[in-house]
Structure 1
Amino acid sequence: MTKEDFNFYLPEELIAQDPLEDRSSSRLLVLDKETGELEHKVFKDIIDYLKEGDCLVINNTKVIPARLIGEREGSGAKVELLLLKRQENDVWETLVKPGKKAKTGDRISFGDGLLVGEIIKVVDEGNRLVKFYYEGIFEEILDKLGQMPLPPYITHQLKDKNRYQTVYAKHEGSAAAPTAGLHFTKELLEQIAAKEVTIANVTLHVGLGTFRPVKVENIKEHHMHSEFYHIEEEEAEKINNTKKNGGRIICVGTTSCRTVESAAGEDGMVKPGSGNTEIFIYPGYKFKVLDALITNFHLPESTLIMLVSALAGREHVLQAYDAAVKERYRFFSFGDAMLIV
């Protein structure tokens, strides 16, 4: 199976640059994974597809303002730094631009010295480990100096930082939003809960590897980036009890899907706890937990379109994407949504 098998034509003007005023007024394409049949709806109609006894799994990670602009000490040259993953308290794996000039021992000053980063090591993919020096609380300084790390295909400035967060974002640590969750409002979640649908929280801190292109022709040779996840015992029980009682597990986004599939045993029961996952889901994968998926429209040849193809079949997914292009759906992070049932 090659990456070309997951290519499709996408006009550039269909890449959503701004979030909608009302989160839940996005469009919703409903795909029947067995028949390939499509329905065109509005996102708030999602409630009509959820039944009493189902479990909706959401990823409550919170995006940190991970993009920092600073100056190299000595030369004053501009440096952009992206926080990818915390290694220990003040040491982060980062992406530094321009990268070739970023050498071990270099120091970068942010906010006139409010925060100083020292490159201590070069690691995989040319990323850098950076140790930070500051006075006070790191998160508060980051909130003051950092910008939201919007994906490279979004060129517009984001007016409100909160629009790149879900309404249920809680645990800080992501370099990108779990974007399928951006469509939910608090009111819609309350209506879903009132319908006797269980809502389970999991945490997976999204890394920028999410956007890393597949470079190998044979997709089985692609190596996934590692991401940290955590599932509380109570939340695992919600998922497992739903399974035992014959309800469906409906994951909000590929990150929630990858979390529950990583934490599940062969019996389909989810184990609580923390870990790092490199799970790569592509056609041929047998889902242990997930029954249905709420997701956005993904990039051609990406690991994410491979994941949805594992659930609904490559042909069904590509036909659905073609229909979405014809109907002028909005694509990617701030775009419209898809429900695969």
Structure 2
Amino acid sequence: MLLSDFDFELPQSLIAQQPVEPRDSARLLQVGRDGLADRRVRDLPELLRAGDLLVVNDTRVLPARLTGKRGEAGVEVTLHKAEGPARWRAFARPAKRLKPGDRIVFASDAEGAFAAEVAEKHEGGELALVFERSGPALIEALERHGAMPLPPYIKRPSGAEAADRRAYQTVFAQRSGAVAAPTAGLHFTEPLLEALAARGIERTTLTLHVGAGTFLPVKHERVEEHRMHAEWASLSAETAAAVARTRARGGRVVAVGTTALRTLESAARPGAGAGLVEPFEGETSLFILPGYRFKAVDLLMTNFHLPRSTLFMLVAAFSGLETMRTAYAHAIAEGYRFFSYGDACLLERQA
């Protein structure tokens, strides 16, 4: 398959810069085998069935964008992957003059200087940083001094705003570690969750710490040559049991977001039985293209994705490339809002 197979024209005016309020008032395009239907996220209780299982990602986005100084020179750093209690991979601007051994000071507080040393330097402005704080103390410092790492297509004149601290975090957020939001989860509110529960729709959680690599472009024209970034994920025995109970009663597994889907599919094991998953913890770099045979997920709720992206390739695999081309053309014609702060779609897996 060629990268151009997954291209489409998107007007810049449709890239959402702010979320709608309340969150569940966002539009929802229902994409099924019988065609398309324009709905709202708050309609989910009517679109799902009693006995279905929502699987959500409980990762929490860290304020992972930092500004600091190397001597008198300013540096901006965006963390993207934890490699230990004090060690992170990061992208830096400008990175040209940074070298191993350099110390970057980001702030000072009651604990002293909040700083890190450049441990390694890689291509493309990527660094390995070792902070002078580790574990919970490092997370606390990031919460105090960092800014939300908004995607590059969300434009802010002076960086992330205070409102983004809430808006770019899902209602499910519990486990700190992501540097990008699992954006399908941004649409949920407590009233919507109560309505889903009253309908008999169950919910369980897993974790995938979304990395900044999710925004990296596919550079190979033959898409099979692309290598996915690895992200840490965890699916508990309790969640595996919830999936098994859902299968046993004839319910459907509904992944809220591509991160939940990729974790479920990474946890699916041939020996576990049709549609079942096993507990999983570790890195996943699962790359899903058309032709992939889904094992664990029946429905997918997800936002609208970038052209030529691995996420658009995933939804094309799930519901069919022609179906998704038609759905996206409809969404564009009807003025749906795209990307992280945009609207959503509810996809049925192709037969």
User: TM-score surpassing 0.5?
Assistant: yes
Q: C-alpha displacement at 1:245, in angstroms? A: 2.4
Q: Are 1:47 and 2:23 an aligned pair? A: no
1:128-167 deviation digits (Å, cap 9, x = unpaired): 1101114992222111110000000000343421110001
TM-score (norm 2): 0.93
CA distance in 2, matches of 1:320, 1:239: 29
Give CA-to-partner distance per residue, 1:48-85, whole Å, 9 cap, x none.
11101111100000000000000112xx1110111111
Contact 1:86 1:92 in 2 (8 A): yes
Partner of 2:292: 285
AA in 1 matched with 2:43: D
Corresponding position: 1:77 with 2:68:
no
1:230 equivalenced with 2:234 (yes/no): yes
Amino acid at match of 2:79: L
d(CA) in 2 for partners of 1:293 and 1:245? 20
The residue type equivalent to 1:3 in the other structure is L
Identity of aligned residues (%): 47
- The CA deviation at 1:126 is 4.9
1:290 partner letter: V
On the 8 A contact 1:18/1:158 being kept in 2, the answer is: no
Task: Tell me, in whole angstroms, the C-alpha distance in 1 between the residues paired with 2:295 and 2:254.
Answer: 12
What is the distance in 1 between the residues matched to 2:200 and 2:123? 46
Q: Any idea what SS the aligned residue of 2:83 has?
A: strand
Query: Alignment partner for residue 95 of structure 1, among 87, 91, 94?
Result: 91
1:274 counterpart (266, 281, 305): 281
Give structure 1 stretches of 5+ with no counterpart.
none
Q: TM-score normalised to the size of structure 1?
A: 0.96
Q: 1:333 to 1:318 in 2, by over 3 A?
A: same
Aligned to 2:118: 119
CA contact (8 A) 2:60 2:174 kept: yes
**Aligned residue in 2 for 1:315:** 322
Q: Give the structure 1 partner of residue 29 of structure 2.
A: 29
Which is worse superposed, 275-284 or 110-119?
Answer: 110-119
Matches within 5 A, 1:148-227: 148-156=148-156, 157-160=160-163, 161-227=165-231
Matches within 5 A, 1:239-278: 239-266=243-270, 267=273, 268-278=275-285
Which consecutive unaligned segments of at least 5 residues does structure 2 have?
none
In 1, the alpha carbon distance for the partners of 2:97 and 2:229 equals: 24
How far apart are residue 275 of structure 1 and its match? Answer: 1.0
The size of the alignment, in residue pairs, is 337
For the Cα contact (< 8 Å) 1:59–1:252, is it kept in 2? yes
Contact 2:16–2:341 at 8 Å: present in 1 too?
A: yes
1:102 deviation in Å? Answer: 2.1
The residue number in structure 1 matching 2:143 is: 143
User: What is the aligned partner in structure 2 of residue 340 from structure 1?
Assistant: 347
- In the TM superposition, residue 86 of structure 1 has moved relative to its aligned partner by 1.3
Moved over 4 A (4+): 123-126
Q: Which is further off, 151-160 or 323-332?
A: 151-160
Moved more, 130-139 or 5-14: 130-139
Distance 1:56 1:124 in 2: 40
SS of alignment partner, residue 240 of structure 1: helix
Moved more, 20-29 or 113-122: 113-122
How far apart, in 1, do the equivalents of 2:306 and 2:199 lie? Answer: 34
1:270-327 CA distance string (max 9 Å, x none): 1113110000011000000010100000000000000000011111101111111110
Preserved CA contact (<8 Å) 2:94 2:125: no
Give RMSD over aligned pairs: 1.4
How far, CA to CA, are the matches of 1:254 and 1:323 in structure 2? 21
Alpha-carbon distance, 1:263 to partner:
0.8
Q: 2:105 aligns with which of 82, 105, 109?
A: 109
Structure 2 residue matching 1:328: 3-state secondary structure? coil
> Does 1:64 pair with 2:67?
no
2:3 equivalent to 1:16 = no
